[in-house]
Amino acid sequence: MNKVIRIGTRDSQLALWQAHTVEKKLNALGYLTEIVAVKSTGDIILDVPLYELGITGIFTKTLDIAMLQGTIDIAVHSMKDVPTALPKGIVQSAVLERASVLDIMVHKGNLDFMHNNSPGTIATGSLRRQAQWLNRFPHHTVVDLRGNVNTRLQKLADQDWNGAVFALAGLERIAVLPENHITLDWMIPAPAQGAMVIVAMENDAFSREAAGKLNHLESEIATHVEREFLKTLEGGCTAPIGALATIIGTTIRLEGVLFSIDGQDKVQIEKTVEINHYKNFGRKCALEILENGGIAVMEKIKKDLQQ
């Protein structure tokens, strides 16, 4: 037990909070730890919309490299930022008990713009949030908003926008949830939203065992289903995809959705299976989406993103 587990993390306030949470849990189990904070590409490049940076993984790549080079033993990520395929040699070791899955809109104390076809401007850097917002409020404008949670809150305060969309979990974790917010219970969250994941090297039995003790089985199963749904649909491009798996007694229910970029087209599914059939459930639901018009929507998305 005397080996020090080096915990890799990005250096945003939220990422550090998450790494420190893991550190405390490992320390409570008797493990020695050290935090290693690194800057990631996703944090440095702020002026290009996320989806233009190409595929996924910009937030996790720097930590993947650090782990493959042996300068960290485990990495803590917001699970929704982790690409569905991990680099060779790196494996998922634990999913922590999930926090809130909800998206919220932070506003400026005036919600008139949400009524009677009023114009409005909402900021988000997420295609999923953009598409769902425009599907519900087609007469609104969505503008790009990048940066870590703190930067985004500041930009919202500085700009003439009506509101911006955030994950409730992120704002609660670092205690910056403004009073002016509403819960978007109609918005389907990102696959694995609100969950933290620990990854480690496949050949590092010590770190994997230590991290594995923090695994929360129900959160692991739900995020597995959601990410399998995502993986089957995405086909190498960042599309507006939402997925939420909920465990109810001995069953698991998946709500999954695929939108076009402008939010006009929507293909959705809601299905329940016995929990012991959770493997391949996400994949089956995604295949049904593709059969029910999803293939055409994916083609349209690819064309839209190429322009």
Nearer to ligand PBG, 192 or 267 (CB): 192
The site map against ligand PBG for 89-128 (x = CB under 6 A) is ----------------------------------------
Question: Which is closer to ligand PBG, CB of 26 or CB of 58?
Answer: 58
Please report whether residue 57 would count as binding ligand PBG according to CB under 6 A: no
Only one residue has tokens 């997420």, namely 126
Instruction: Pick between residue 187 and residue 297 the one whose CB is nearest to ligand PBG.
Output: 187
User: Are 188 and 242 in contact, with CB atoms under 8 Å apart?
Assistant: yes
Catalytic one of 43, 64, 73, 81: 81
Of 58 and 258, which has the nearer Cβ to ligand PBG? 58
Q: How far is CA 284 from CA 165, 190, 193, in A?
A: 30, 18, 21
Exposed e or buried b for every residue in 122-154, given b needs 16+ CB within 10 A?
Answer: bbbbbbbbbbbbbbebeebebeebbbbbeebbe
Q: CA 103 to CA 182: how far, in whole Å?
A: 9
Taking the C-alpha atoms of residue 124 and residue 165, their distance in angstroms, rounded to an integer, is 6
The answer to the question of residue 140 lying near ligand PBG (CB under 6 A) is: no
Identify which of residues 220 and 265 has a Cβ nearer to ligand PBG in the complex: 220
Q: Which two tokens stand for residue 204?
A: 């590092």
Q: Which one among 64, 73, 81, 204 touches ligand PBG, defined by CB under 6 A?
A: 81
At closest approach, how far in Å is the CB of 302 from ligand PBG? Answer: 22
Which residues, 6+ apart, have CB-to-CB distance to 76 below 8 Å? 7, 8, 9, 15, 18, 19, 22, 196, 197, 198
Residue (of 177, 169, 188, 47) closest to 107 by Cα position: 177
**Residue of 8, 120, 170, 191 interacting with ligand PBG (CB under 6 A):** 170
12 binds ligand PBG (CB under 6 A): no
Q: Interaction with ligand PBG in 149-168: which residues (CB under 6 A)?
A: 149, 166-167
Identify residue 89 by its one-letter amino acid code: G
Beta bridge partners of 74: 7, 200
Q: Which stretch binds ligand PBG (CB under 6 A): 33-41, 66-74, 78-86, 269-277?
A: 78-86
Contacting ligand PBG within 270-289 (CB under 6 A): none
Q: 47 catalytic, yes or no?
A: no
Please report the sign of the dihedral spanned by the C-alpha atoms of residue 123, residue 128, residue 132, residue 135. positive
Q: Does 169 bind ligand PBG (CB under 6 A)?
A: yes
Min separation Cβ 94 and ligand PBG, Å: 15
Binding positions for ligand PBG, 183-212, rule CB under 6 A: 193-194
> Which CB atom, from 40 or from 78, has the smaller least distance to ligand PBG?
78
Size of the site for ligand PBG (CB under 6 A): 10
Contact status, residue 28 vs residue 18, Cβ threshold 8 Å = no
Active site residues: 81
Residues that bind ligand PBG (CB under 6 A): 78, 80-81, 149, 166-167, 169-170, 193-194
